[in-house]
Amino acid sequence: MKKSTQVALILLITSLIAFNLFGVQRFPRPEFENGYQQPETILNAPRALFFEYFDLAVLIGSLSLITWLILKKRSRKAVFWVMIFSLLYFGFYRKGCICPVGSLQNVTLALFNPEYSLPINGIAFFIIPLVFTLFFGRTFCAGVCPLGAIQDVFALRPVSLKSWVQSLLGLIPFIYLGLAVLFAATASDFIVCRYDPFVGFFRHNASFMMFAIGGILLFISVFIARPYCRFLCPYGVLLNLVSRFSKKHLTIAPSACISCRLCENSCPFGAIDKPTGAKFKQPSNVLVKKLILYCLIIPFLMAVCGWTASKYYESFAKVNFKVKLATEIMQSKNSESEVIPLEITAFRSSGNSEEVLFEEAKVILNRFYLGNWFLGGFIGLVFGLTLARLTIIPYKTDYTTNKGTCFSCARCVDYCPVKE
Amino acid sequence: MFKKFDLKNFGTDQLWNRIALVSGIFALLVCVLLIGNYIQVKKADPINMKVINSLVERLHKDPSDVKLREEIRTLDLLSRKAYFTSKWQIRTGGYFVLAAIALMVISLQIISYRKTIVPQLSPENDDNTMAYRNKTRVFIVTGGSLILATALIFAILATNELKEKFAVQEINEETPIENNSDLITQAADSLVLEIIDTTGTSNITIKHTVASAFTNNDSVNEKSAASSKDNFPTFRGPGGNGIAKQKNIPISWDGSTGDNIRWKTAIPLPGYNSPIIWGNKIFVTGANTAKREVYCINRNTGAMIWTVVVENIPNSPGQAPKVIAETGHAAPTAATDGIGVYAIFSNGDIIGLDMDGKKLWAENLGVPGNHYGHSSSLMIFKDLVIVQYDQKTSPKLMALSTKTGKTVWSTNRDVKISWASPVIVNTGKRTEIILAAEPFVASYNPADGKELWKIDCISGEVGPSVAYANGMVFSVNDYSKLAAIKIGADQPTVLWENTDYLSDIPSPVATDKYLILSTSYGLTVCYDAVTGEKYWEKEFGNNVYASPIIAEGKVYLMDKTGIMHIFKADKEYVSLGEPKLGEPSVCTPAFTNGFIYLRGDKNLYSIGK
Ligand code: SF4
């Protein structure tokens, strides 16, 4: 890396962290003794229905366009410009909301809490990228997702990670997905939105912590391309799984691969699978044995992880504000301190009954108990399947994009000498 | 004329590098300034400035100093202005930083955009697929096992007790009764024999019908259900608010065919009071002009466990007061806390008995000056029996000790005679006794009887008790109005009121969403509890004297002919059944899990399988 670029990068990160300056505390309301009535807080009206449909149209339009550019035109440069458009529109103009990554929580919440009515846009933003991915691969990631786009523009000096590091870090999004679903299903929190590292930049507003995390991730993006997409994004997990079934996924070579190896190091995301060659071809009896072994190991792992996670349900449940409030009320009753926390005062002045709160908190605890079992089981399953995947080597003769992890960014296309 | 625009020819790499560098340095400089500004803003507390505070203090000493007042205002304005200017600077600076970074990224992107792609081949085709897979497996297995083992150790050590703690809190909140843990009830028994016990020491004759096989409580007592929540200790359930926590309540039966009727027991003396339940015991009272009795019935078998004749109470009048037939001499429902059972009659006799029917205390509160007859039911708060005594002369609310019957506190009320029962609720902030009588609805601290609030919104001869839900109290009376009172603030306020449907006997019942009100002529109406919007009305065709109770989201409303109208507490009227008791009834039902207990004119019924 050139010295000037390095200096520029350091400056950049420092500046990004300074964005937290937007997140200073609110100015308290002045107090009046002369009976002056404080004006009512005015809430922003929801976005007009027309614009909601317009957003949807933009999503479908840009997805169709980018898919065509990737599969038909095979043009990285065109993909780049669509990506810039999405960054400006879905990122800076729409301020990162509504976004498919977060919408997975809305969908979960609606599935587990029938009283929450999910807006049609919420479902559409969740489903449409998945549908496109099912047919054409992760073209949404390539240049429509604003979170991916902001990292991609910073991917200036990508280095390739060791495959094993990549595999290990690749487990994190599964865990994050499990947690996001658990907290959304229990109506506790939308952690994906709360800990969205880039939305602060889009909105010019976030806590110091979030600006710092966002800044660090963007800095990392310079060397490790799209760290959030690869090692954190929970929606990426779904896209990854769905994309494996895509029939018309981008290929490095437009026709037959000549195994020239020119594209071997072209992917900044390590998403190119090398040919494995005949030497890794495993005899079928070995494969069957391994299969039987994993059939036994995986349920065991799921049970152990499920049981373990279930033991932590109370700690998890404390994220839920009702459980937290009930705990605080209980503690304040048992404490000698005269100071009553603000939350409790606010709750009491609302006239709501504590009995109802405790009852609701109990129901939420039960949900977490069950949810933690599922979460643990899911993590066990992911670990088990990852081990199985690593043991069973698929037989490959060409250089191909890994349909699960490839973002269809079309960078590798330019490296391939086969043009027809 | 114009050359085709091509990014490749647009400036040199060196130029873009310099632009990137300059914009980067600019961004950094602005950042440093912003951070400085930010620290300043963070430190500054414009509403708590020392100078202003000291001036304000001076002003407090001499409030007439107009000049000083103006000076403070000017200073205050200045400090606020400074604060907001800093905020503006931060925001504007932020935009500069953003623009500079964008320019830097664009410059760097342009440089990389026109770089020719040079594929980099690894020196040799080192096929490390197997090695990487093995390595990854090792890492996952060792790393995963380590994490799992640590998590397991902590999981084994972890104690999850919140649920239990919440349950305890819930019980504490819900029940105003304490000292439940050591409560005991007698086991059920079908072997009944009658003995007459005249306690030599007492001047009260108590006739026991005892489950004699179980005279020694200790040997047979099962631990009672821990709280009033699990029982049905007072009129309209715990606290008298018309909400039952019991589950699986039957919705169909037929008294004439015996369908779903578990047992039926005749109650010797008439009484319009409702059954109350603790453990395996049901209590009702009965009276006529000559006699007053308290009955204890086995909840499982319907067998009469004991009967106490309430007689020879000191200061009790020789003659029963005049009452109307629709009230009778035993209209108030008794109350129990699992330690004792407490009953009051039309002549002012009040008695406390233990769970075996032994007298704890008894006295006469003075014949109530009440032209229809005293009807207000007893309530329990901790170790106090709460008695509404809104009679003609010196109306009052009293609390008697459950142990001795002595008056612990008594609060005079400036009200007309009323027939409503006290309702005890926990509002989240505190426990309150709420009462309605002309001219106000008022709340009292159950610990000392001090008035907490009152609001003028009711008039006439008030019969219905209030209903409470979600910070709202609902009061109603015929020829007056229905008022929805928001409490919680220092002063309660009437959120909405209505005069279309008014009740003179049945009490309303409320949930967070709905208010259900039945009139005594059988018209039932459901309102939105918060807005007062009427959802539906339903004419049942028969008179209704009993009060509705909500259990499991279902409303149980008994009409005078003995038909129980069961419907959903919901926006729409959805009937769930109209089972018949087979005899007239004016009593409010009581519940245990899976069972409902109804008192008809003559009999007490247990319904359920
Ligand atoms: S398109 Fe090529 S370069 Fe881009 S992510 Fe997929 S494999 Fe990597």
Which residues, other chains included, contact A5 with Cβ-Cβ below 8 Å and sequence gap of 6+? Answer: A156, A157, B17, B20, B108
* Helix or strand (DSSP H, E) at B271: none
DSSP 8-state symbol, A192? H
**Angle made by CA atoms A298, A304, A309, in degrees to the nearest 5:** 120
**Is B382 among the domain residues?**
yes
Q: Based on the structure, what is the number of domains in chain B?
A: 2
**Is A367 among the domain residues?**
yes
For a substitution probing ligand 1, which of A411, A413, A414 has the most ligand atoms within 8 Å of its CB?
Answer: A411
For a substitution probing ligand 1, which of A152, A269, A400, A403 has the most ligand atoms within 8 Å of its CB?
Answer: A269
Structure tokens at A323: 């459980």
Ligand 1 geometric centre to CA of A123 (Å): 28
Statement to judge: residues A205 and A341 lie in one domain: no
Ligand 1 geometric centre to CA of B122 (Å): 18
Looking at beta carbons, which residues of chain A come within 8 Å of B156?
311
By C-alpha distance, which of B455, B495, B439, B437 is closest to B471? B495
Question: DSSP per residue over A69-118, as a string?
Answer: IIIII--HHHHHHHHHHHIIIIIIITTT-S-HHHHHHHHHHHHH-TTSPP
Find the DSSP H helices in B400-519.
none
What CA–CA distance (Å, rounded) separates A390 from A395?
A: 13
Q: B215: pLDDT confidence band, cut at 50, 70 and 90?
A: very low
In the prediction, which pLDDT does B35 show? 79
**Is B519 among the domain residues?**
yes
Ligand 1 atom at minimal distance to the Cα of residue A409: 4
**CA dihedral sign of residues A368, A372, A378, A383:** positive
Ligand 1 atom at minimal distance to the Cα of residue A410: 1
3-state secondary structure of A40: coil
Statement to judge: residues A102 and A127 lie in one domain: yes
By C-alpha distance, which of B254, B298, B291, B245 is closest to B275? B298
What CA–CA distance (Å, rounded) separates B94 from A20?
A: 9
Statement to judge: residues A269 and A287 lie in one domain: no
Please list the ranges in chain A whose pLDDT falls under 50. 1-2, 7, 9, 12-14, 16-26
CA distance A397 to chain B (A): 13
Sequence-distant contacts of A66-69: CB under 8 A, at least 24 apart = A66/A139, A66/A142, A66/A143, A66/A144, A67/A132, A67/A136, A67/A139, A69/A410
Is A401 close to ligand 1, i.e. is its CB under 6 Å away? yes
In the prediction, which pLDDT does A29 show? 63
3-state secondary structure of B4: coil
In the prediction, which pLDDT does B123 show? 65
Burial pattern B94-129, b for ≥16 Cβ within 10 A else e, equals bebbbebbebbbbbbbbbeeeeeeebeeeeeeeeeb
Question: DSSP per residue over B177-211, as a string?
Answer: ----TT-EEPPP----EEEEE--TT-SS-EEEEE-
What CA–CA distance (Å, rounded) separates B28 from B34?
A: 10
**Is B64 among the domain residues?**
yes
**Is B230 among the domain residues?**
no
Q: Is the ipTM of this complex over 0.85?
A: no
In the prediction, which pLDDT does B199 show? 32
Q: How many CB atoms lie within 10 A of CB A349?
A: 13
Domain span at A204:
3-19+51-275+399-415
Ligand 1 geometric centre to CA of A413 (Å): 8
**Is B369 among the domain residues?**
yes
- Average the pLDDT over B407-419 and give the result: 93
What are the tens digits of pLDDT across the range B52-103? 888 988 898 888 888 999 999 899 888 888 888 888 888 898 889 889 989 9
Statement to judge: residues B156 and B24 lie in one domain: yes
Statement to judge: residues A386 and A332 lie in one domain: yes
For a substitution probing ligand 1, which of A244, A267, A400, A413 has the most ligand atoms within 8 Å of its CB?
Answer: A267
For a substitution probing ligand 1, which of A229, A406, A415 has the most ligand atoms within 8 Å of its CB?
Answer: A406
Structure tokens at B209: 């019908």
Q: Do B144 and A280 touch (CB under 8 A)?
A: no
Is A250 close to ligand 1, i.e. is its CB under 6 Å away? yes
Statement to judge: residues A248 and A351 lie in one domain: no
Is A141 close to ligand 1, i.e. is its CB under 6 Å away? no
**Is B313 among the domain residues?**
yes
What CA–CA distance (Å, rounded) separates A406 from A184?
A: 28
Statement to judge: residues A250 and A303 lie in one domain: no
Looking at beta carbons, which residues of chain B come within 8 Å of A314?
158, 160-163
In the prediction, which pLDDT does B208 show? 34
Q: Do A8 and B108 touch (CB under 8 A)?
A: yes
Statement to judge: residues A146 and A252 lie in one domain: yes
What CA–CA distance (Å, rounded) separates B215 from A249?
A: 85
Is A201 close to ligand 1, i.e. is its CB under 6 Å away? no
**Contact yes or no for B234/B330 (Cβ under 8 A):** no
3-state secondary structure of B9: helix
Structure tokens at B378: 């007893």
**Is B434 among the domain residues?**
yes
Statement to judge: residues A217 and A351 lie in one domain: no
Statement to judge: residues B159 and B242 lie in one domain: no
3-state secondary structure of B459: coil
Best mutation target among B142, B163, B427 (most A Cβ atoms within 10 Å) is B163
In the prediction, which pLDDT does A66 show? 97
Structure tokens at A52: 């909601």
- Average the pLDDT over B536-556 and give the result: 92
Ligand 1 geometric centre to CA of A189 (Å): 34
How big is chain B by its Cα radius of gyration, in Å?
A: 37
By C-alpha distance, which of A281, A264, A279 is closest to A400? A264
- In this predicted structure, the answer to whether residue B198 has a pLDDT above a threshold of 50 is no
Q: Do B37 and A24 touch (CB under 8 A)?
A: no
Question: DSSP per residue over A207-222, as a string?
Answer: -HHHHHHHHHHHHHHH
**Angle made by CA atoms B15, B19, B22, in degrees to the nearest 5:** 135
Statement to judge: residues B339 and B432 lie in one domain: yes
What are the tens digits of pLDDT across the range A342-400? 888 888 777 777 878 888 899 999 999 999 999 999 999 999 999 888 887 777 778 89
Looking at beta carbons, which residues of chain B come within 8 Å of A361?
162, 166
Find the DSSP H helices in A244-353.
284-310, 313-317, 321-334, 342-349
Statement to judge: residues B145 and B245 lie in one domain: no
What are the tens digits of pLDDT across the range B153-168? 988 887 777 877 787 6
**Is A33 among the domain residues?**
no
Indicate the pairing of strand B523-528 with strand B514-518: antiparallel
How does the average pLDDT of chain B come out, rounded? 84
Backbone dihedral region of B385: left (phi > 0), alpha (psi from -120 to 50 degrees) or beta?
beta
Domain span at B15:
7-115+123-166
Statement to judge: residues B366 and B281 lie in one domain: yes
**Is B286 among the domain residues?**
yes
3-state secondary structure of A199: helix
Q: Do B489 and A330 touch (CB under 8 A)?
A: no
CATH code for position B289? 2.130.10.10
Is A184 close to ligand 1, i.e. is its CB under 6 Å away? no
What are the tens digits of pLDDT across the range A91-138? 999 998 888 999 999 999 999 988 888 888 889 999 999 999 999 999
Looking at beta carbons, which residues of chain A come within 8 Å of B428?
347-348, 350-354, 357
Best mutation target among A15, A115, A286, A330 (most B Cβ atoms within 10 Å) is A15
Ligand 1 geometric centre to CA of A402 (Å): 8
Structure tokens at B53: 């505070």
What CA–CA distance (Å, rounded) separates A403 from A415?
A: 18
CA distance B491 to chain A (A): 12
In the prediction, which pLDDT does B554 show? 93
Statement to judge: residues B565 and B483 lie in one domain: yes
Q: How many CB atoms lie within 10 A of CB B344?
A: 30
**Is A74 among the domain residues?**
yes
Looking at beta carbons, which residues of chain B come within 8 Å of A396?
none
- In this predicted structure, the answer to whether residue B204 has a pLDDT above a threshold of 50 is no
By C-alpha distance, which of A198, A23, A217 is closest to A95? A198
What CA–CA distance (Å, rounded) separates B117 from A349?
A: 67
Looking at beta carbons, which residues of chain A come within 8 Å of B468?
none
**Is A122 among the domain residues?**
yes
Q: How many CB atoms lie within 10 A of CB B150?
A: 11
3-state secondary structure of A306: helix
Tell the residue nearest (CA) to atom 6 of ligand 1.
A406
Q: Based on the structure, what is the number of domains in chain A?
A: 2
* Helix or strand (DSSP H, E) at B552: none
- In this predicted structure, the answer to whether residue B512 has a pLDDT above a threshold of 70 is yes
Is A154 close to ligand 1, i.e. is its CB under 6 Å away? no
Statement to judge: residues B130 and B259 lie in one domain: no
What CA–CA distance (Å, rounded) separates B552 from B24?
A: 66
**Is A55 among the domain residues?**
yes
Ligand 1 atom at minimal distance to the Cα of residue A252: 2
**Contact yes or no for A152/A409 (Cβ under 8 A):** yes
Q: B229: pLDDT confidence band, cut at 50, 70 and 90?
A: low
Ligand 1 geometric centre to CA of A409 (Å): 5
Q: Do B428 and A350 touch (CB under 8 A)?
A: yes
What CA–CA distance (Å, rounded) separates A231 from B279?
A: 59
What CA–CA distance (Å, rounded) separates A68 from A139?
A: 9
Q: How many CB atoms lie within 10 A of CB B518?
A: 29
What CA–CA distance (Å, rounded) separates B433 from B380?
A: 10
3-state secondary structure of B76: helix
- Average the pLDDT over B515-542 and give the result: 93
Query: Bridge partners of B515?
Result: B510, B527
Burial class (CB in 10 A: 0-12, 13-18, 19+), B132: middle
Looking at beta carbons, which residues of chain A come within 8 Å of B96?
none
Ligand 1 geometric centre to CA of A401 (Å): 6
**Angle made by CA atoms B559, B564, B568, in degrees to the nearest 5:** 115
What are the tens digits of pLDDT across the range B283-338? 999 999 999 999 999 998 999 999 999 998 988 998 889 999 889 999 999 999 98
Looking at beta carbons, which residues of chain B come within 8 Å of A329?
169
Statement to judge: residues A284 and A156 lie in one domain: no
Statement to judge: residues A176 and A297 lie in one domain: no
| Amino acid in the structure at residue B228 | S
What are the tens digits of pLDDT across the range B416-449? 999 999 999 988 778 899 999 999 999 999 989 9
Q: Do B160 and A386 touch (CB under 8 A)?
A: no
Structure tokens at A90: 């879905």
Q: Do B169 and A277 touch (CB under 8 A)?
A: no
Question: DSSP per residue over B498-522, as a string?
Answer: E-SS--SSSPPEE-SSEEEEE-TTS
Statement to judge: residues A298 and A168 lie in one domain: no
Statement to judge: residues A197 and A168 lie in one domain: yes
**Contact yes or no for A159/A223 (Cβ under 8 A):** yes
Is A416 close to ligand 1, i.e. is its CB under 6 Å away? no
